[in-house]
């Protein structure tokens, strides 16, 4: 098989998997409690963390995966609990991970990269994933619609970038990191995400002012590109094509959520300012 048919087959498998999974995701977001959503996000985050750490191990860094999973669980719990602060979880990660490598028998030559990868993995997945939980829990009846808005805009950006990039892409965006991404595809993804956001405003989210819908979609699309490129850089460093192989056509869970977790805190911050600080959203 040449590269083109393989890419088409992979894209077909990816879209088929998304089509099958979509009804379950819609049900979880729209018709279950915020705590069920938190449990699902936590499960996905644990798998993504494991994949992240496996990439680190490919660089021959000794990583304590069970410690990292336990710390991730603590980080995510602080996003749900009203009695624990997120800062406490961050302090725990920054204190306990270095302490482990101080008192372990691992080679000191790998202490710095092992500590750095462990801390980055836990905080990257935990803090960014935790914002997905808060986005659903903190804003009452708006929570499910905010999650739908985030997912639709990010996926529209991804689809727009892929199809417009294939049709019109001529100029590479960042070839040393992701050779197939083009500037034309990136621009197309941004435009499609803004169009999708406008459609959301006129259908099920009229409370989200149109100008802010477009502005937030623009920010989400740009943040999604950065998140995708960041993971591409890490995978190239680890010399792997995908972070895992659990999702047909998508690779690993980390591959699937990279843009989403990178954009979730952006939307959370934007909506928080509109809702809490400036009072531009009806309560």
| Domain range summary for the chain, segments of one domain joined by + | 32-137, 141-283
User: Alpha-carbon distance 116 to 107, whole Å?
Assistant: 15
The pLDDT of residue 2 is above 50? no
Average pLDDT, the chain: 91
Band of residue 245 on the pLDDT scale cut at 50, 70, 90:
low
Mean pLDDT (whole number) for 48-76 = 95
Note whether 133 and 38 are within 8 A (CB): yes
Tens digits of residue pLDDT in 14-39: 666 667 778 889 999 999 999 999 99
Tens digits of residue pLDDT in 192-209: 999 999 999 999 999 999
Confidence (pTM): 0.92
CA 273 to chain centre: 21
Note whether 115 and 101 are within 8 A (CB): yes
Q: Residue 157: is it exposed, middle or buried by C-beta count within 10 angstroms (0-12/13-18/19+)?
A: buried
Report the largest interatomic distance among the alpha carbons of the chain, rounded to a whole angstrom.
60
Give the per-residue pLDDT at 21: 77
Give the per-residue pLDDT at 1: 43
Tens digits of residue pLDDT in 206-228: 999 999 999 999 999 999 999 99
Bridge-based pairing state of the strands 172-174 and 178-182: antiparallel
User: Alpha-carbon distance 26 to 18, whole Å?
Assistant: 12
């Amino acid at each position: 098989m040449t590269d083109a048919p393989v890419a088409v087959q992979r894209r077909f498998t990816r879209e088929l998997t998304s089509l099958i999974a979509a009804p379950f995701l819609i049900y979880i977001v729209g018709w279950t409690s915020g705590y069920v959503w938190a449990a699902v996000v936590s499960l996905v985050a644990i798998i993504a963390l494991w994949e992240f750490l496996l990439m680190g191990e490919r660089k021959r860094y000794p990583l304590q995966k069970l410690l990292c999973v336990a710390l991730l669980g603590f980080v995510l719990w602080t996003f749900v609990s009203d009695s624990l602060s997120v800062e406490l979880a961050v302090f725990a990660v920054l204190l306990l991970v270095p302490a482990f490598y101080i008192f372990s028998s691992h080679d000191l030559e790998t202490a710095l990269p092992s500590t750095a990868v462990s801390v980055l993995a836990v905080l990257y997945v935990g803090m960014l994933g935790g914002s997905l939980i808060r986005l659903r829990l903190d804003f009452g009846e708006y929570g499910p619609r905010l999650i739908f808005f985030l997912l639709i805009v990010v996926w529209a950006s991804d689809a727009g970038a892929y199809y417009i990039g294939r049709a019109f892409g001529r100029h590479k965006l960042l070839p040393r990191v992701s050779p197939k991404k083009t500037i034309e595809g990136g621009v197309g993804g941004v435009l499609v995400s803004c169009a999708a956001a406008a459609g959301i405003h006129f259908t099920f989210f009229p409370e989200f002012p149109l100008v802010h819908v477009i502005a937030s979609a623009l920010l989400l699309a740009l943040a999604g590109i950065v998140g995708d490129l960041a993971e591409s850089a890490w995978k190239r460093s680890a010399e792997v094509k995908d972070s895992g192989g659990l999702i047909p056509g998508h690779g690993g869970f980390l591959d699937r959520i990279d843009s989403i977790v990178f954009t979730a805190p952006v939307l959370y911050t934007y909506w928080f300012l509109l809702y809490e600080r400036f009072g531009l959203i009806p309560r």
